[in-house]
Structure 1
Amino acid sequence: MSETKPLAIVGWREIVHLPQLGLANIPAKIDTGARTSSLHGSVIEEFEREGQKYIRFAVDFPQQKVRQLCEAVHVDMRGITSSNGETQRRYVIKTPLKIGSLSFRAEISLADRSDMKFPMLIGRSSLRRRFVVDSGHSWLQSPGRDPVKGHKT
């Protein structure tokens, strides 16, 4: 029997980073009910670079009055069912995602999350074989944030 290393533990919310997109310190909700991770972004245009499809999109941070323009490889256009049961066609990108000290390439759909509390949702595809979720805690992989027990926001 091969030895498996223990998985890192995440809370129900964490601070994550998308370094290739220039996005850091993004509050994210950990959601094992969602398959695909999702980022609040507005698609501006599709384009090609060196024969590869890309998406240019904007990520808005209204509290800071900041709009970050990002570019990422366009992987797919997918029907994704949202929390209200509605299926939407969404752009899917692939980019490095950093949670705690672990970095890996993740597929992330771009969605309008303006009415959501968290601009990013981390789905089970990104968590699988990397993390286990402790739903009774927050900020377990978020340096600079004190871990919080319970669901207080």
Structure 2
Amino acid sequence: MKTFDHLSVIGLREWINLPELGMVGLRAKIDTGASTSCLHASDIQPFQRDGEDWVRFTAHLGTLVQRRHRCEAPLVTVKRIKSSTGHVQSRYVIRTHLALGDRLWPVEFTLTCRKTMRYRVLLGSKALVDGQLVVNPALTYVQDKPSLADLSGAP
């Protein structure tokens, strides 16, 4: 059997931070069937800042206790995403740093309404590849929660 020393093992669910957006203690579901990661958002409004495209939105966090966090981020692009049910939707895409365990790296997230879903954040396969992660679906919360110090650690 092959082993990969440079890869970290994560479980089907993990705790993450999105420090550039000021968001900590998010539960993320790992979805290897999805290419792009996604974040539950509403009130999505594109705007211009210094001639660049940006987007502001309300991120919705938590499942039992609902938390809302107003965010702004540079707009990367708008993507057409096909859901597992075949529904096609245009979504805004942002790039922000993700902290998982002791790792911190940039990840692209699509913004979409996930109010009927249990998890407000999905991590797709591109984020896993970029973060050099492998998934053991029999495990959950393998990595330690990212520390609050990660909030200041983003480039």
Please state which band the TM-score falls in when normalised by the shorter chain.
0.7 to 0.9
User: Can you list the C-alpha shifts for 1:46-83, whole angstroms capped at 9, x where unaligned?
Assistant: 11112221100001236434321000110111001112
- 2:5, 2:50 → 1: CA distance? 39
Contact 1:45–1:57 (CA under 8 A) maintained in structure 2: yes
- 2:34, 2:66 → 1: CA distance? 29
Residue equivalent to 2:120: 119
SS at structure 1 position matched to 2:127 = helix
- Is the alpha carbon distance of 1:57 and 1:131 closer, same or farther for their aligned partners in structure 2, counting shifts above 3 Å? same
- Aligned pairs (5 A) from 1:46-57: 46-57=46-57
- Aligned pairs (5 A) from 1:57-136: 57-61=57-61, 63-129=64-130, 130-136=132-138
- 2:50, 2:128 → 1: CA distance? 31
Measured after TM superposition, the shift of residue 5 of structure 1 is 4.8
- Aligned pairs (5 A) from 1:2-17: 5-17=5-17
- 1:126, 1:47 → 2: CA distance? 26
Count how many residue pairs are aligned between Structure 1 and Structure 2. 141
Q: TM-score under structure 2 normalisation?
A: 0.84
User: Can you list the C-alpha shifts for 1:20-64, whole angstroms capped at 9, x where unaligned?
Assistant: 111111111001100000000014321111222110000123643
Measured after TM superposition, the shift of residue 6 of structure 1 is 1.8
User: What's the C-alpha RMSD, in Å, of the aligned pairs?
Assistant: 1.7
- 2:13, 2:144 → 1: CA distance? 9
User: Can you list the C-alpha shifts for 1:96-133, whole angstroms capped at 9, x where unaligned?
Assistant: 11111111111100011111110000000000151000
Contact 2:95–2:108 (CA under 8 A) maintained in structure 1: yes
Q: Which stretches in structure 1 are left out of the alignment for 5+ residues?
A: 145-153
Contact 2:11–2:138 (CA under 8 A) maintained in structure 1: yes
- Is the alpha carbon distance of 1:78 and 1:99 closer, same or farther for their aligned partners in structure 2, counting shifts above 3 Å? same
Residue equivalent to 1:147: none
Q: Which stretches in structure 2 are left out of the alignment for 5+ residues?
A: 147-155
Q: 2:139 aligns with which of 125, 137, 140?
A: 137
> Given residue 53 of structure 1, which amino acid in structure 2 is its aligned partner?
D
SS at structure 2 position matched to 1:138 = coil
Identity %, equivalent residues: 38
